[in-house]
C-alpha cells in the first residue's frame, strides 16, 4: 500500500504545472557559427542553460553565412526576430553575439557580468502574466491570467530546442574548431493570440521529446510578459 501511495505521489509531482511564481527569465542569444566573437557567448549559454531560473535559447542567424561558412542551424526567421527587437528598442544595427533578456534589454553576449546583472534585475520584477503549462504525452495544456491592461493582444509562441549539439566547423572565421552549442532553437511559432479580456486556456499538440517552451509576448514592445518550460 505504501508503495502504491508513493507511486501516486510521484506521478502527481511529475504532472504538476510550471508554477507562475517561479517564472524564469528568458535569455535569447543571437549567434552564428561564422562569427569569431561568438564562441565565448555560446559557452556562456551552456552555463545559463543549467539554471532552473533561466530559459536560455540560442537563435542562429544567417547574415554571416556569406563569409565562408554556412551556419547549419541558421534560420532567416531568427534574423527577422532580432531585427524586430532592434527596431522596437530604437536601434539601427544588429550584431552577434547579442543576448536579449525577456525581450526587453539588449547586451553583448560575451559579457557574462552584464548578462547576470540584467537577469537579476528581471527576477526582481513582478510578472504581469501568470502562466502555467502541463504536459501529458504529446499534449500540453496552456493557461494564463492577468490583471494588467494591454492595448494590443499578446502572442503565444511555442519554442522547441535541441539541448546539446556539437559542430565541426571547416571554414570561415572559426575554421578548425569543434564548438558545442546549447539549447539550439529548432522551431519558434505563434500558436495563439490573447486579447487578455478573459483568462486563456487551450491545448496544443507537441510531438517528439524536445523540451517545450511557451512565451507570452507583447508584440508592441517586444517584452516577454511570461514564459514557462516543460520537458
Domain ranges of the chain: 19-230
DSSP β-ladder status, 54-60 and 25-31: parallel
Residues 6+ apart with CB under 8 A from 26: 54, 55, 57, 101, 102, 103, 215, 224, 227
Residue 132 has pLDDT above 80, yes or no: yes
Give the distance between the most distant pair of CA atoms in the chain. 65
Q: What are phi and psi of 128, to 5 degrees?
A: -85, -20
199, 132 contact by CB (below 8 A): no
Per residue in 148-182, pLDDT tens? 999 999 999 999 999 999 999 999 999 999 999 99
DSSP one-letter code for 153: P
Instruction: Give CA–CA dist 150/77, Å, rounded.
Output: 26
Mean pLDDT over all residues of the chain? 92
Q: Work out the pLDDT band at 59, boundaries 50, 70, 90.
A: very high
pTM: 0.90
Q: Work out the pLDDT band at 22, boundaries 50, 70, 90.
A: low
* C-alpha closest to that of 199 among 125, 151, 142: 142
Residue 2 has pLDDT above 60, yes or no: no
Amino acid at each position: 500500500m505504501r508503495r502504491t501511495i508513493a507511486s501516486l505521489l510521484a506521478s502527481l509531482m511529475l504532472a504538476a504545472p510550471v508554477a507562475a511564481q517561479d517564472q524564469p527569465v528568458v535569455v535569447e542569444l543571437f549567434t552564428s557559427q561564422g562569427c569569431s566573437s561568438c564562441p565565448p557567448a555560446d559557452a556562456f549559454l551552456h552555463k545559463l542553460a543549467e539554471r532552473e531560473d533561466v530559459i536560455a535559447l540560442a537563435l542562429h542567424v544567417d547574415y554571416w553565412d556569406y563569409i565562408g561558412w554556412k551556419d547549419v542551424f541558421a534560420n532567416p526567421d531568427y534574423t527577422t526576430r532580432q531585427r524586430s527587437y532592434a527596431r522596437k528598442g530604437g536601434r539601427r544595427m544588429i550584431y552577434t553575439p547579442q543576448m536579449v533578456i525577456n525581450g526587453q534589454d539588449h547586451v553583448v553576449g560575451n559579457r557574462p557580468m552584464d548578462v547576470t546583472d540584467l537577469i537579476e534585475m528581471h527576477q526582481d520584477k513582478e510578472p504581469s502574466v501568470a502562466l502555467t503549462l502541463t504536459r501529458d504525452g504529446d499534449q500540453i495544456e496552456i493557461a494564463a491570467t492577468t490583471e494588467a491592461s494591454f492595448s494590443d493582444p499578446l502572442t503565444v509562441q511555442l519554442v522547441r530546442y535541441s539541448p546539446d549539439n556539437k559542430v565541426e566547423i571547416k571554414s570561415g572565421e572559426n575554421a578548425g574548431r569543434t564548438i558545442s552549442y546549447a539549447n539550439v532553437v529548432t522551431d519558434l511559432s505563434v500558436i495563439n493570440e490573447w486579447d487578455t479580456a478573459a483568462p486563456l486556456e487551450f491545448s496544443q499538440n507537441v510531438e517528439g521529446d524536445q523540451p517545450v517552451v511557451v512565451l507570452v509576448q507583447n508584440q508592441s514592445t517586444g517584452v516577454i510578459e511570461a514564459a514557462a518550460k516543460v520537458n
